[in-house]
Chain A
Amino acid sequence: MSAPMHPIEITLNGEKVAFEVPAHRTLLQLLKGDVHLDAVKEGCGIGECGACTVLLNGEPVNACLVLAVEANGAFVETPEIENKSDSLSELQQAFIDFGAIQCGFCTAGMLSSARALLKRTPQPSHEQIAEAIAGNYCRCTGYQPFIDAIAAVAQARTTGGYKASVLPAGKFVGGSTKRIDGVAKVTGSAQYVHDMVLPRMLHARIKTSPHASAKIVSIKVDKAKAMPGVRAVLTGADYTYKLGLYMQDKDILARGRVRYHGEAVAAVAADTLEQAEAAVDAIEVTYEPLPAALTVHEALAAEAPLVHPDLASYSFMKGVFFPQPGKNIAHHQKIRKGDVEQGFKAADRVFEFKFKNPPVQHVPMETHTAIVQAMPGGEVEIITSAQSPFTVRTLFSHTFGVPEYKVRVRVPYVGGGFGGKAGIHLEPLVYCLSKAAGNRPVKIIATREEEFNTLPSRQGLESRIKTGVKKDGTIVALEVEYLWDAGAYADYGVNIGRAAAYSGAGPYCIPNCKLDSKVIYTNKIFGTAYRGFGHLEVLWGIERNIDLIARALGVDPMVMRQKNLLKVGDTTITGELFTEGHGRPDLCLSKVAEAIGWDPNARVQKPVKVGSGKVRAKGLAMLHKAPAMPSYTSCSVVIKMEPDASATLLVSGVDYGQGTYTTLAQIAADELKIPVEKVRVPWDADTNFTPYDWQTVASRFAVMGGNATIEAARDCLNQLREVAGRVLCAPPEKIVCENSQCWVEGRAEQKLDYKKLVLGYTYPNGNSIGGPVVGRGRYIAQGLTNLDPETGQGRPALNWTYGAHGVEIEVDTDTGEIRLLRIASAFDAGKVLNEQQCRTQVVGGVIQGLGSALWEKFIFSEGRMLNNSFVDYKLPTAKDIPAEMQQFFIETPHPQGPYGARGIAEHPMISVPSAIGNAVANATGVEFFELPLDPERVYLTLKRS
C-alpha cells in the first residue's frame, strides 16, 4: 500500500530540481526532511509561527501549509539563498549587528520575511516592517532588534548598501562584541536537534491521556505492534523506573493511572514518523475516570482525591523539601522573621488582598526534542535540546542505575529554553524505545500541541497577602500565603515554592514576616522553571499590593516603595544582611520613574483621556531575584591554547540563545590579552569533552562561568609567564602579557609571541621546555546555607539583582484592550559585560513579560486543556510591542561577580505585569487582581465596577 507519487519540478534557490512526492507531503517536509535545507524550521505545523517561512514565487508563505505538489513549476527560495561563499548578505549582517539573534530558531524565517518585504517595499516604514514580520513568532528578542536591523538595511540601500558596523577598539568586556554564534545562526548552518538525522534512526510518537485523572484499565498494543515499520511499542507497564528532579514522582509512561490531560501513556518507534503516528492511533486505551483535584483549593480540601496516593514511598531531596504524604502537598516552605502578630498590633492599618496567576507556557520556538541510542555494552548516547547536559546525565543515571561514565549527553544549538528544558524530560522514554528497538537511535520531536499539554508549564499561583503599615506607608508586618498549582508532578515546582518564598516579600525591609509557600499537586499539566522562577508570579501580588495600599493611604506608590526598599544594614526576610555589594534598588526605581516622567508629589496619578473611550496612565513596579540553586553549585572551564595562539574555551553551561558564550569569549580575550575573534567557544556542550557545570538556569551562568573563565585564563597566563620567564631570564611575575606577546617588564624591545610558547618553547639548539598550555578554572558558590526548615532563616542567594520597570499604557475602555506605549527598565547589573546583549536581553524579557501580562494563560475545562496550540494560546507579535523601550544599567559591583557582574537574564520579564497592572488601576480606577489582563477580563471587570 504505497501512496501514489507525483513528479514535480521546482526551481529551488535558483536551481531546477525534480522530485517525486506523495500528495500529502508538505513543502516543509520536502525542503527539510528530504533536501535538508535546515535553515527552514518547523515550529507548529499549522501556519501560525512562521518558522518555516520560505518564498514561493517571491512571496512569503508558511511551507507547512503548502503541498509539495502545489509547488510544481514554482520558484522556491529558502533562507539559504542569502548565503554567499565568503561574505554575509546585508540582512544577515544587520541581524548580527543589531543583536537580532538569540536562540536562532526563528532567525531564518525572519530572514525570508525581511527579504520579501524589501523586494516589495524597498523603503518600508516601521509599521510596514512590523506587519511583514508579525507572522514570525520570536520568543527571545522582543522583535525590536529585527525591526531596527531591517530598517537599517533599507536605509543603507539608499546610500550604497549596508556595511557591517565596526566596534570601537579597547577592552572587550563592557563593549558590545557581536555574537560568536551570529554567522551560524543567520546562515542556518547552526544545527539543532530538530535538524539532526542519524543513520538507521527511528522516529517516535507518543499517545497521551484524554483525561485529567483516570485509572488505566487496559492498553491494547497488538494492532500497533503488527503495523508496517513499527519497531517498538511501549506502555507504562513495561517499566518501573521513577523520574524526578527533587522528588522522584514521575513514571516514564503513566503506570496504572493518569494524572493529567496530555500525560504520555504509550509510545511507538517506527521507521517513519507517519508509521509511528499511525501505530499510536491504533493503540487502544481503556480508562476509568477518577475524581480529580483541579485547583489548589480542591486539592487542599478534606477528602480531596490524592494525586499521589503513594507519596510516602517516593524518594526526594531530604532536608530541603518537605512533602506531606496523605495530602496533596509536595513541599511547604516556611519563612519566619520577627513577630508578625506584634507587627500587626503596631500597625495603623492592615490590608489583605488576594491575587492569582494562571499556568502559562515557555513556548520555546524549538519544541522539546531528543535523539537517544542505547549502545551495545550498556553505554548511552543522548543528543538533546536541553539546558544542562550534566543534569540530564545525573538524573538519567539515577533513574536507570546506569553509571554516569557510561552516559554521554550532547547539547548542540538549542532553540530557546526559558527554564522549560532545564531538567530531564523526553530522554528516558526515548532511551527505552531505543533499547526496545534493538539499540537503533530513536528521535522524538514534541509536536507544538504536546509542548503545550504534555511537557511542563509555569505553575499557577494563588497569593494571599496581609500587610500591616504605618500611616506613612512603612510596612511593619507581612503575612503571606502562596499556593502553587504544581500540577501532577513536582519537577522544579517544589524548588520554585522554596525560592519564591525567600524572595517572597519583594525587595523590601520587613521587620516581621510570616510566609508560607505550599506547592500543591493537582490533576493538571505539571509546572517547572520558567524565566524568573516564580518571581513574576509572587511579584504580581507583592507589587500590586504596594500600589493598593499606597492608594488607600494617599501615599505616592513610588514614595511608599522608597520608604520600604532594602538599604544597607537592613536584613532580608531570611536574615541576610543587606550590604553595599547588594546593589541599589533605590536607584533602579528613581531611574525608571524619571524616564517615564513620574511625579512622586502627585500622590494620585491622574489618567489622561485620549479620544473616545481611551485613557492613558503610568505605573511602576520593583523586582528582585537571586539564583535559586543548591548551596554547593559549581562550574568549571577549560581553556586550551591552540598552536596559532588562539584559545578554545570548553564549558558545559549551554548558550541556548542568551549569549553567554560570547560573554565568556570576551572575558577570556581580555584576560588572555588576545583578540576576541581568536577565542572559540564551541557548541556542543558534551559531557564527554566539556568540563562539569551544574545547570544553565537561574541567571547564574555568566556569573559562575565568568568567574571560572577568569581563573582558567589566568592559569593559562601563569603558564605562559613561567615559560617566558625562563626564556627571557626573568621571574614569572615580571613578565608582561599584551597583544599575544610576552616580554619582561621594562624590556619591551625583546618580545616573545604567544605562538612560540603555547605548545612549549624550543631553543635554537632543539632543547624544549614547557608544553601545551591548558588552563583550568572553577567556581563554587560561596557562603550559602540551607534554610532552616521551621523559620527559613539562612543564606540562600549568591547574588541578588534588583530592578524596576516604569510603564505608560493606554486602555481602550470600550474593548478592554491595553496597549503598552512605553517601558523604561533599570537593573543593577553590577557590571555590564556586553552592553548590546544586556539591552537585547531586556527587550526580549520585557516582551515575554508582556505576554504574561496581557494574553498568556492556559484554559481548562474539567481538567482538559482547551488551548494547546497557537490558535488560542496567543503570543505577542511584532505588532504588539511598544513604540519605546529604554534600558538603564546601574553598576554597583558585586563582590563575587566577575568584574562585579550580576545575572540579569530572567529579571527583565519579572514585574512587567505588575507595572502594567498598576498603570491600569491608575488609568481606570479599577483594581485588577488576576492575570492576564486580556481585553475581555479588562472590559468585563470595568463593566461590573
Chain B
Amino acid sequence: MTELRYERPPSLEAAVALMNDAAGRAVVLAGGTDLQIKLRDNDLAASLIVDIKALPGLQEIHWAPSGELTLGAAVTMRQLYEDARIVTCYPALADGAEVVGSLQVRTRATLGGNLCNASPCMDTAPGLIVLGAKLRLVSAKGTRDVLAEGFFKHVKKTLREPQEICTAIVIPAAAQKLKTAFGKIKRVRGHDLALVNAAVAYDPEAGTLRAAIGSAAPTPVVTPVLSGVNPKNTVEFGQKLAALALDVVKPIDDVRASAEYRRDMAGLLCRRLVSELLGGQK
C-alpha cells in the first residue's frame, strides 16, 4: 500500500494508457465510497489509483435529440435524483439513486462506481436493467457497450476486464415509453443497505411488465416479460409478476435478513410497484 500512486488523467486516452500500462495493478477511482473502505481495510491489491473524475464528459448528463440518455460514469447519485428530467422520465433510476447511503455518500458515490462495485444490494442496477441500459467500457482494445442486464456475473464480479474503464451508462431512447418505479426494503429509515430492492417497468403500449430484483441473489435478477397486462387488474398482475419474481430470486440467509424475508419482500415489492405503476398511486 505504501507504494500506491495516484493519477488524475485529463483525457480518456491517457486514462486508458495508464490502465493498460499497469497491467491489472491499477484501480479506477470515481466516487471512492467503496474504494476507500477497501484501502482502509488493506484489501486493495493495486499500485495505482486512476481517478476518472477529470475525464471529459464523465460527470455529465447528456440527452441526445433522439432521446438517448448518456450518463457519465462519474455522475453522482445526487446528480441523478436532482435532475428533473431524469426524475420524470426514469423514476426507477432516480429513486434508486436517492436511497443510496446518506447524503454525504450520495454527494460522492457515482453511477459507474455503484455498478462496477457490483454489490448485490446496489440500488441503481435494477432500474437500469429494466430500462435496457448499457454500460460503455473502454480499454486499449477498444470500446464496447454491454447490457446492464448481463453485466453482473457474481458478487462483486462483472464483465468488466481489469483494464477497462466504464465511461458511461447509456439508456436507449426507447426506454422513454416505459413507466418505471423502484422500491427498497431496509431496516431503518435512515441510510441502510437494501435487504431487497426492485424496479418494475411497465410498457403501456405493449401491455408488458418486467421486474429486476436486487439483493435477492448474487447478482440482480430479472423476471421474464409478463405480457397481456390489463391495467385495470392491478392486483392480479401484481401477483403474477411477484410469482415470476419468486421463480428467479435465489436469496440467502445472512446478517441482514433471512432468505424467507427476502423472498417475501421481493414479492411484496413487485405487488406494490405494479400497483403504483398501474394504479398511478405512489
Q: Indicate which residue in A59, A60, A69, A874 contacts B6 across the interface (CB closer than 8 Å).
A: A69
Q: Indicate which residue in A47, A50, A53, A277 contacts B36 across the interface (CB closer than 8 Å).
A: A47
Cross-chain pairs A/B with CB under 8 angstroms, 22 sampled: A3-B1, A3-B2, A22-B4, A46-B37, A47-B104, A48-B102, A59-B78, A61-B104, A62-B104, A62-B105, A65-B108, A66-B108, A67-B6, A70-B8, A113-B104, A134-B103, A134-B191, A135-B101, A872-B255, A874-B188, A876-B190, A936-B258
Q: Tell me the nearest residue of chain A to B40, going by C-beta.
A: A45
Question: Which A residues touch B51, using CB under 8 A?
Answer: 69-70
Question: Which A residues touch B6, using CB under 8 A?
Answer: 6, 23, 67, 69-70
Give the tally of cross-chain contacts (CB within 8 A).
Answer: 140
Interface size on A, residues (CB 8 A): 56
Q: Indicate which residue in A3, A48, A64, A939 contacts B261 across the interface (CB closer than 8 Å).
A: A939
Question: Which A residues touch B4, using CB under 8 A?
Answer: 3-4, 22-24
CB distance A61 to B188 under 8 Å?
no
Shortest Cβ distance from B59 into chain A, in angstroms?
Answer: 12
- Confirm or deny: B29 has a beta carbon within 8 angstroms of a beta carbon on chain A: yes
In residues 225-269 of chain A, which contact B (Cβ within 8 Å)? none
Q: A24 and B32 in contact (CB under 8 A), knowing A135-B102, A867-B255, A935-B187? A: no
- Confirm or deny: A855 has a beta carbon within 8 angstroms of a beta carbon on chain B: yes
Across chains A and B, which 4 residue pairs bring their CB atoms closest together, nearest first? A135-B102, A877-B190, A23-B6, A879-B189
Question: Which A residues touch B264, using CB under 8 A?
Answer: 939, 943
Q: A556 to B193, alpha carbons, bound, how many Å?
A: 41
Q: Tell me the nearest residue of chain B to A63, going by C-beta.
A: B104
* Contacts from A to B (Cβ < 8 Å): 1-4, 6, 22-24, 26, 45-48, 50, 53, 56, 59-62, 64-67, 69-70, 72, 113, 131-132, 134-136, 277, 281, 814-815, 855, 859, 866-867, 871-872, 874-880, 934-936, 939-940, 943
CB distance B105 to A24 under 8 Å?
no
Q: Indicate which residue in A6, A47, A67, A867 contacts B29 across the interface (CB closer than 8 Å).
A: A67
Shortest Cβ distance from B1 into chain A, in angstroms?
Answer: 6
Q: A867 to B256, alpha carbons, bound, how many Å?
A: 9
Shortest Cβ distance from A1 into chain B, in angstroms?
Answer: 6
Q: A24 to B78, alpha carbons, bound, how many Å?
A: 25
Q: A50 and B102 in contact (CB under 8 A), knowing A6-B6, A66-B36? A: yes
Q: A56 to B33, alpha carbons, bound, how many Å?
A: 14
In residues 243-282 of chain B, which contact A (Cβ within 8 Å)? 255-258, 260-261, 264-265, 268, 272
Contacts A23-B5, A878-B190 known; list 9 others, CB within 8 Å. Answer: A3-B4, A23-B6, A62-B105, A70-B8, A70-B51, A135-B191, A859-B255, A876-B190, A943-B264
Shortest Cβ distance from A111 into chain B, in angstroms?
Answer: 14
Q: A815 and B190 in contact (CB under 8 A), knowing A69-B6, A940-B260? A: no
Shortest Cβ distance from A320 into chain B, in angstroms?
Answer: 39
B interface residue count range (under 10 / 10 to 19 / 20 to 34 / 35 or more): 35 or more
Q: A3 to B48, alpha carbons, bound, how many Å?
A: 12
Question: Which A residues touch B205, using CB under 8 A?
Answer: none
CB distance B189 to A880 under 8 Å?
yes
Q: A943 to B267, alpha carbons, bound, how many Å?
A: 14
CB distance A70 to B190 under 8 Å?
no
Q: A875 to B189, alpha carbons, bound, how many Å?
A: 10
Question: Which A residues touch B261, using CB under 8 A?
Answer: 936, 939-940
Shortest Cβ distance from A267 into chain B, in angstroms?
Answer: 18
Q: A877 and B191 in contact (CB under 8 A), knowing A61-B107, A67-B49? A: yes
Q: A56 to B51, alpha carbons, bound, how many Å?
A: 16
Q: Tell me the nearest residue of chain B to A281, going by C-beta.
A: B42
Q: A478 to B51, alpha carbons, bound, how many Å?
A: 67
CB distance A936 to B190 under 8 Å?
no
Q: A23 to B32, alpha carbons, bound, how many Å?
A: 13
Shortest Cβ distance from B198 into chain A, in angstroms?
Answer: 13
In residues 23-71 of chain B, which contact A (Cβ within 8 Å)? 29, 32-33, 36-37, 39-40, 42, 49, 51, 53
CB distance B185 to A65 under 8 Å?
no
Interface core residue of B103, B256, B258, B265 (most chain A CB under 10 Å) = B103
Question: Which B residues touch A134, using CB under 8 A?
Answer: 102-103, 189-191
CB distance B187 to A65 under 8 Å?
no
Q: A867 to B255, alpha carbons, bound, how many Å?
A: 7
CB distance B36 to A26 under 8 Å?
yes
Shortest Cβ distance from B79 into chain A, in angstroms?
Answer: 11
B 1-19 to A, binary, CB cutoff 8 A, 1 in contact else 0: 1111110100000000000
Question: Which A residues touch B268, using CB under 8 A?
Answer: 814-815
CB distance B188 to A47 under 8 Å?
no
